[in-house]
Amino acid sequence: MRPKNKKTFELSSTKKYKQYERKLWLIPLACLLFTAVCSIEKAFDDFIANPGIATLAGIILFLLLDTMVLSIFPFFVGEIIIRAGLKSAIQNCTITSMQDFDYYRDKLTGLSPATISILTDLEVEQKKDVAASILQYENLGLLAEKADHTYYATPKYYSCNDLNESDRYLIEHLEKGDFDWENDTQWKQLAMDEAIAEGYIANKSMPWQNQQTEDSLQPKKGTPLKGRLIKLLLAAIWVCWLLNASPRIVELQPFFTVAPGTSLEEHMNLIYSQPELFLKLVEMFALGIAALFIIYFNPVSRPKKKKAAGSSKGCLVPLVIVLVWFGWALSALPRMNDFIAILETAPESASFAEQAVFLSQPKLMLGCIEVVALFIYTMFIIAHVIAIFPAMDAMRKNRKSIKRTDYGNQMAECVYGMKNFIHDYSNLNIADKRQVALWEDYLVYAVVLEENEEIVKEISRMRREVL
């Protein structure tokens, strides 16, 4: 079977980040409000003095510009952190579709609520998974609830021999009343071990504990001869280029040496007065990037492996972004001087309408666009530098030491189809606990797949009453 496409579970772990992302828009909104409050008086006076659409447009434009300048940095930082968290959360919730079906209607025989939960996002969410398990035990007649909302194991439980260890652990501790409702790591570990033992998931760090899959039994392929030849050819071309470029690189020496008694500005002006020097600099960077490309170029197509954080491969894109910024900033400096010179001719105090007329000069307008674009680009880079540690932390929190096996992936696709089916074809989101007799396992699936949150809340409320 050939993988067709990727499917992602819409779960609370991803919804949480999407909510944060929506809330992030409050930053520009707050900045807009702040700017509006600060400049309302002046804007109002200007509009009274020069009523018209041009003045209004000018006021709106300046408000938006102010808002952007104020909010762009915190917005970028927040966006980067949230995106990093969302990306890693989505990774956990994404499966490779093999059969490409949207709905699955049959019962998920053999899958416990905890295993279903693990298959969806590689994690046991104790609150809902325990609620779903209790619902299932009650439906099967293994567990019953007393009037005071405590639980007891029924005689059927004692005669039932085919229960998993995690089920026995949960039922017994619920009966004794010593189950840790907040975070029972032992139950979680048991559920995880069972999912590994049944071959649904595999441990990344301890592969010897996993069931062997077809994938792991396949011999690892090395780089074939053809690939090596391509790499060798590229390396030869690069060496020829280097030999050809070496005299030009030597000529770059003035760029790195500042003559005594020369300021940096004078030095930069000297460099800009020689455009060929800049071209040589670009060639040197291109040589460096080509060298990196050849070193990491792998002509064999093999499944993508996750990049280690901070690896040189992962750094290549940021490096290119910074180099482009550097090149752009350097080339923009002389234009900036002209731009500043024009700005200096601007009146010290001007109304919005006067400012709009002043800025409508074509040369100034182009300069403004470039300044704004360069400002956004610079903020984008600075925000990445500032947000790198919180973003890595968000990614680390979502990083899992387990992955789905091929078999687990197939089962996860069935679970995905079941979630869609329950979502589109039922009103189980409003069903209550007593309806488990009517809906049987489907209500259990609705709880564990986050389609019904009321039952989780109901069970949690009863637990609080007991405590």
Number of residues located near other proteins, criterion CB under 8 A? 10
Residue number with CB closer to other proteins (171 or 428):
428
Closest CB 448 distance from other proteins, rounded Å:
18
From candidates 148, 214, 424, 465, binder to other proteins by CB under 8 A: 424
User: Which of these segments, 43-51, 232-240, 321-329, 425-433, binds other proteins (CB under 8 A)?
Assistant: 425-433
Residue number with CB closer to other proteins (56 or 342):
56
User: Which of these segments, 222-230, 343-351, 369-377, 436-444, binds other proteins (CB under 8 A)?
Assistant: 436-444
Q: Which amino acid is at 436?
A: V
Write out the two tokens for 308: 């280690």
Residue number with CB closer to other proteins (142 or 422):
422
Residue number with CB closer to other proteins (223 or 429):
429
Residue corresponding to tokens 């993988």: 3
Q: Does 439 bind other proteins (CB under 8 A)?
A: yes
246-265 residues in contact with other proteins (CB under 8 A) are none
CB within 8 Å of 25: residues ≥ 6 apart: none
Asked if 454 and 432 touch (Cβ cutoff 8 Å), the reply is yes
Give Cα separations from 266 to 30, 83, 199, 259, 273 (angstroms).
Answer: 43, 42, 69, 10, 10
Closest CB 420 distance from other proteins, rounded Å:
11
Q: Does 425 bind other proteins (CB under 8 A)?
A: yes
Nearest Cα neighbor of 399 from 85, 7, 116 is 85
CB within 8 Å of 107: residues ≥ 6 apart: 440, 441, 442
Residue corresponding to tokens 């329950």: 422
From candidates 427, 434, 437, 465, binder to other proteins by CB under 8 A: 427
Cα dihedral sign, 19-7-410-196: negative
Q: Virtual CA dihedral for 354, 356, 358, 362, nearest 10 degrees? A: -160
Asked if 90 and 12 touch (Cβ cutoff 8 Å), the reply is no
Q: Does 273 bind other proteins (CB under 8 A)?
A: no
Q: Does 442 bind other proteins (CB under 8 A)?
A: yes
From candidates 426, 454, 458, 460, binder to other proteins by CB under 8 A: 426
88-117 residues in contact with other proteins (CB under 8 A) are 105
Closest CB 411 distance from other proteins, rounded Å:
21
Residue number with CB closer to other proteins (428 or 444):
428
Residue number with CB closer to other proteins (283 or 454):
454
Residue 176 CB-density burial (10 A; 0-12 exposed, 13-18 middle, 19+ buried): exposed
User: Which residues of this chain interact with other proteins, rule CB under 8 A?
Assistant: 105, 424-428, 438-440, 442
